[in-house]
Amino acid sequence: MQSSERLNLTFAALADPTRRAILARLATGEATVTELAVPFEMSQPAISKHLKVLERAGLISMDVDAQRRPRRLETKGLKEAVDWIERYREIFEQNYQRLDALLGELQAKPSRRKRTHK
Amino acid sequence: MQSSERLNLTFAALADPTRRAILARLATGEATVTELAVPFEMSQPAISKHLKVLERAGLISMDVDAQRRPRRLETKGLKEAVDWIERYREIFEQNYQRLDALLGELQAKPSRRKRTHK
DNA sequence: GCCGTACATTACCTTTAGGTTATGTATCTG
DNA sequence: CAGATACATAACCTAAAGGTAATGTACGGC
């Protein structure tokens, strides 16, 4: 898979609060589908779908234990997302400092340029 | 807005490759809508939509310069996403080490538990 | 003042996401 | 071996995402 494609899957997976909650739960240790479903007002198939999304993104993996299918966290998928976001974080922060400087300048010597921040 | 809601918007915004490319472009400095649209085989309204998504997520902001609407990066939205992901990164990595240990143990003393990694 | 530029906005379409209920399939248990 | 348990899978629905073409609007330049 392309790096860009994996980033799509990872960020999309993280965009859902149910899935983030599942990851938070799995951070405390592995859990079965039934266990994961308990906190949510949602059917079991819905949870299974979320788990499939997380698995495709490489954020979790599955064990086989009799009729149980416990899930656990996986670092693979997250690594790349972290890398991407970290890479831009610096630039974002540099940019922020530049903006601060600019705003200071504008306050000292106002022009017709307006800033919308809605 | 709730923190969770902002995370939804931010991660969803980052999940699209066009939007990540726009952020990458803006990391080199502010740019107008027309300039941002050039690299993409996509209509201008489509780019405007993407910009609106990025703005709602707090990842960019807008200036007003005559009929131009240059965009620039904004740190606000990203900060929280970074925080979230960083917080879990540690746990993810701890978990990975625990997994390593477990796998070592399984190799030494195999059980009926299988691992699927598809 | 009129035209071109640089957008935003609207109406619309198609695909995908997230949920449901119903059902299928292993596997343990009495 | 007959449930019960723990899931996955299928069929379906609705809403939202991502795209389009057409149009509206504000501004600068000739």
Q: Give the span between the Cα atoms of A117 and B23, in whole angstroms.
A: 17
The per-residue DSSP string of B22-81 comes to HHHHHTTS-B-HHHHHTTSSS-HHHHHHHHHHHHHTTSEEEEEBTTB--EEE-SHHHHHH
**Domain segments of chain B as ranges:** 1-112
How many CB atoms within 10 Å of residue A79? Answer: 17
Q: Place B80 in a pLDDT band, splitting at 50, 70 and 90.
A: confident
CA of A45 to C1' of D12 (A): 14
Return mean pLDDT, chain A: 82
Chain B contact present for A75, CB below 8 A? yes
Q: Place B34 in a pLDDT band, splitting at 50, 70 and 90.
A: very high
3-state secondary structure at position A31: strand
Contact A95 B75 (CB under 8 A): yes
Residue A116 or residue A97, greater confidence: A97
Render pLDDT for A38-76 as a digit per residue (tens, 0 to 9).
999 999 999 999 999 999 999 999 999 999 999 999 877
CATH match of B1-112 with 1.10.10.10: yes
The answer to whether the beta carbon of residue B4 comes closer than 7 angstroms to any atom of strand C is no
Q: Which of A47, A15, A16 is nearest to A31 (CA)?
A: A47
pLDDT surpassing 70 at residue B40: yes
Q: Which of A52, A68, A41, A61 is nearest to A19 (CA)?
A: A52
pLDDT at A51: 98
pLDDT at B114: 42
How many CB atoms within 10 Å of residue A40? Answer: 14
Please tell me the CATH code under which domain A1-111 is placed: 1.10.10.10
